[in-house]
Chains A and B, each alone.
Chain A
Amino acid sequence: MFEILKRQEMAGGTVVLNEISAPAIARKAKPGQFVILKANETGERIPLTMADTDPKKGTITIIYQVVGKSTTLFKSLQVGERFQDVIGPLGQATHLEKLGTVVCVGGGTGVAVLHPITRGLKEIGNRVIAIIGARTKDLLILEDKMKAASNELHVCTDDGSYGHHGFVTDVLKEILEKEDVKMVVGIGPVPMMKFVCKVTEQYKVKTLVSLNAIMVDGTGMCGCCRVTIGGETRFACVDGPEFDGHKVDFDELSQRLNAYKEDEAVAMQQYACKCQAG
C-alpha cells in the first residue's frame, strides 16, 4: 500500500503531483477531505488535502508545493516507491449544494484543493465561475482541469505574464459587481484567502475557505490545528478544514503557521547537507 503510481512535476518542479495507491481511502474520500502522510520512519506527519481520488483504481492524488524538508523528501520519492503511512480520509467533506452561480477562487497549490470542489459544485448543477492565480505564468497549475471543471475560467498572474495582470481579487470584484453570486469558495495562501474574504464581506456573499493549519494527528486528539472561528476555538482537523471565511481569525492562523520557522530551516539545512554528502 501507499505505493506511488504516478509522479509529475509542475510549475518548474516547485510543485509535485503524486498518485498513490490507497484503496481504503479512495473508497471513502469526498471533496474537501484531507490525508496525513509520513514518508519514512523518522518523518513527520504532514496534512494534504486530496486533489483527486479514483475509487475504481484505488488511488488518491495529492499535489504539494516543495517548501521544506518533508516536501523535499516527498519529492525525492519516485514511482514504485512508497509513503510509509497515509491516513484518511480526514476532516469534513465540502457541503455541496445547488445554489445558482458560485465563484471558486484558487491561488498557488490551493488550486489543487479547489479543483474537486469546483467539479463537485458544477456536477450538481451550479453555474461555476473559476478564478485561478499564480505569481507568474510558470507557476500556474491545473489550468486545463479547472477549465473542464467550471463554466467560465479566469486566469491571473501577479506579473502579467499570462491572463489578467493582477490579483484574483480584482477579477472577483468585477464578477461580484455584475453577477448574482450565491457563494464564493476561496482556497490558497492565507493572505489571499484573507483578501478574498474582505472583498466578499463588502458584497455580503457567503465565503468558504479551507484552512491549512499545522497538524500532528489529524483526528482531534491534540489541538495543534486549533483556529479561532467567530471568537471560538475549533479544531481544523475535525471541525474543518473548511470554515465560514468571514469568521476566521486569519492573523492568528498566519502567526501559528510560523511557529516552527527556525526549526524548519534547521531541518532543511541538515537534509540538504546530507543529500550533498550522500
Chain B
Amino acid sequence: MAETTEKKEKVPRQPMPEQSAEVRRRNFEEVPRGYTAEMAMKEAERCLQCKNPACMNGCPVSIEIPAFIKHVKEGDFTKAVRKIWERNALPAVCGRVCPQEIQCEGLCILGKKGEPVAIGNLERFVADWERANGKGDLPPKAEPTGKRVAVVGSGPSGLTVAGDLILKGHDVTIFEAFHKPGGVLVYGIPEFRLPKEIVYSEVNFLERLGAKLQCNSVVGRTVSVDELFEEGFDAVYIGVGAGLPSFLNIPGENLIGIYSANEYLTRANLMKAYLFPEYDTPIVRGKDVAVLGAGNVAMDSARTAMRLGADRVRIVYRRSRDEMPARKAEIHHAEEEGIEFHLLTAPTRFIGDENGRVKAMECLKMELGEPDASGRRRPVPVEGSKFTLDCDLAVISVGAGANPLLTRSTEGLQLTKWGYIIADPETGKTTKKGVWAGGDIVTGQATVILAMGAGRMASDSIHKYLTWGW
C-alpha cells in the first residue's frame, strides 16, 4: 500500500491556470481559467480511491467524491457530473466558491504528506464541461407526488432544497424578491470569482428539471407565508439569507461615497454598474478607497474597487492579520492585485467636503488586549493615536444581520434575540408547522456551502414530512 501511495504522489497536484495579477486587477473576467480535459484526467489519477474516503466527511452535501473522480480519470465526464448531481445540483458554483481547504480537501489523505487532490477544481471542471459539451441530459426524477413546496429565496440554500425536492418528485416553486435568481451568488460574489452566466445556467438546470421560478416576489410583502399555504403549498422552506447590512454608527456615515458592502456589490454585480453607462445603474468610482472590515465580502469589495479604476485601495481593519476572517486564498489574491492592508486601525468618524462627499476618515490606532467572547483578542484604542486617512469612497463591510421583512410579517415563527429564525439543527424545522428554514437566516452570515448543507438536511426532512407527516 505504502508503495502505491508513493508512486501516485509522483504526479504533482495540477495547478489551475489563472490570469496574471497585473492584467486581472483591471478586468471583471474570471481569475482562474479552469482545467483542460488533460489536466483534469491527470489530476484525477492522483486520487487513491480510498475504501473509507475521508474527503466525503468534509463535504456538507456528501458528494461521492472518489466515484465521480474515477469517472473523470476514465474520461467519462457525463457520468462524473451525474454522480455529483445525485447530491448537489450546483457543482459549477460549489467548485468555485467552497472553502475546500477546510472541507473535502482538508481531509484528503494525500494532504497529510503532500498536496490534497484538487477536488474543487475537478468538480468545477466537470460542471463546466457538461455546460459546454453535454447533451442537456437530465438526471432521473421520481414519480410526481402531487405535493407542492414553496422555497422562499433563491440563494444557495433555497436552490439546494429546490433541486433536491424536484428530483424526489415534488412540485417546487421558488420565490425570489430580486429580478434575478441566485441570491448572494448573483448580487454579492463578483463576476471575477463567479461569472453570473454560470449561476443562471445552474438555475436554468433546475427549471428544466421542472422547478418553477417566480422573481419579483417579496414574501412578506407581495405574498405572506400563510397565504402560500392558502394557495395550496404543503410545505414552505425559508432561505432568505442575512441581508441586513451593519453600519459602524459613527458620525458622517451618511455622506455620499459611503456604501454598505451590500449596496456596493449589488450595484456592481447585480445591476452591472461596472458597465455604466451601457447599463443604467451608476456607482461611485473612488480613486482612494477604504474598505472597512476584513472578511471575504471586504476582499470582494476591495478587488471590485480596484477593477473600477481606483489608484489605491486599502483594507482598514481594527484587529491584526491573524484575526482576519477572510479565506487565505482571497487575502492572497487581493494582495497580488495591489490591495493594501491597514491593520489595527478603527475609524471614529467620516469627514465630508462642502458637497457632502466623503473625503477622509478620522481613525484611532488599536492594540490587542484580552480575548473577547469570540475568542479573538479584543482591539483597544491607543491613547492619543488619532490620525486622518484620506478616502473618496468607503465601503463598510462589517457583517450583516437578519432582515426582518419576512419574519416580522409571519406569525408563529420563533426568533432569536438577534432576529434569526430558530430551527432544529438536524432537520431545519421551525416552530411553525410545515415551515423549514436554513442558511444565513438561521445561522447568521456564514458560507455558501454551509447554507447548501442546511438546505440538504431540510430537504430530507421536508421529504419525510410530505411522505409520512410532521
Residues of A in contact with B (beta carbons under 8 Å apart): 24-25, 28, 38, 42-45, 69-70, 84-90, 216-217, 219-224, 226-228, 233, 238, 252, 255-256, 258-260, 263-264, 266-267, 270
Contact = CB atoms under 8 A, between A and B. Distances in A.
Given A223-B263, A255-B355, A258-B355, A90 B178 contact: no
B222 interface: yes
A217 B266 contact: yes
Given A45-B281, A221-B243, 5 more contacts: A43-B280, A44-B280, A90-B218, A221-B266, A222-B262
Contacts of B217: 24
Contacts of A252: 254, 356
Contacts of A223: 245, 247, 260, 262-263
A44 to B, nearest CB: 4
Nearest to B177: A219
Given A42-B279, A224-B263, A256-B254, A219 B403 contact: yes
A86 B222 CA distance: 11
22 contacts: A42-B278, A44-B271, A44-B282, A45-B179, A45-B271, A85-B215, A87-B179, A87-B218, A88-B222, A90-B221, A217-B178, A219-B243, A220-B243, A220-B403, A221-B262, A221-B403, A227-B254, A233-B247, A233-B253, A252-B254, A255-B256, A258-B355
Nearest to B180: A85
B243 A28 contact: no
B285 to A, nearest CB: 9
B24 interface: no
Interface string B261-283: 01100110001100011111110
Contact of A70 (B223, B280, B404): B280
Contacts of A89: 221-222
A216 B276 contact: no
B254 A220 contact: no
B179 A233 contact: no
Interface string B225-245: 000000000000000000111
B281 A44 contact: yes
Contact of A222 (B177, B245, B356): B245
B183 to A, nearest CB: 10
Nearest to B246: A223
B246 to A, nearest CB: 9
**Interface of A, helix, strand, loop or mixed by DSSP:** mixed
B20 interface: no
B388 interface: no
B405 interface: yes
Interface in B169-189: 177-179
B276 A233 contact: no
B207 to A, nearest CB: 18
B359 to A, nearest CB: 14
A24 B224 CA distance: 11
A115 B265 CA distance: 36
Nearest to A41: B279
A84 B179 contact: yes
Contact of A216 (B215, B216, B254, B267): B267
B263 A222 contact: yes
A85 B282 contact: no
A87 B176 CA distance: 10
Contacts of A255: 256, 355-356
B249 interface: yes
A215 B65 CA distance: 44
A275 to B, nearest CB: 14
B216 A86 contact: yes
B222 A216 contact: no
A226 B254 CA distance: 7
Contacts of A86: 216
A204 B274 CA distance: 48
Contacts of A44: 271, 279-282
Contacts of A45: 179, 271, 281
Nearest to B224: A28
A38 to B, nearest CB: 6
Contact of B280 (A222, A259, A267): A267
Contacts of B266: 216-217, 221-222
B405 to A, nearest CB: 6
A84 B178 CA distance: 12
A85 B280 contact: no
B356 A263 contact: no
B243 to A, nearest CB: 4
Given A24-B217, A255-B356, A270-B277, A221 B244 contact: yes
Interface centre among B217, B222, B243 (most CB of A within 10 A): B222
Nearest to A262: B282
A221 B179 CA distance: 14
Contacts of B179: 38, 45, 84-85, 87
Nearest to B406: A219
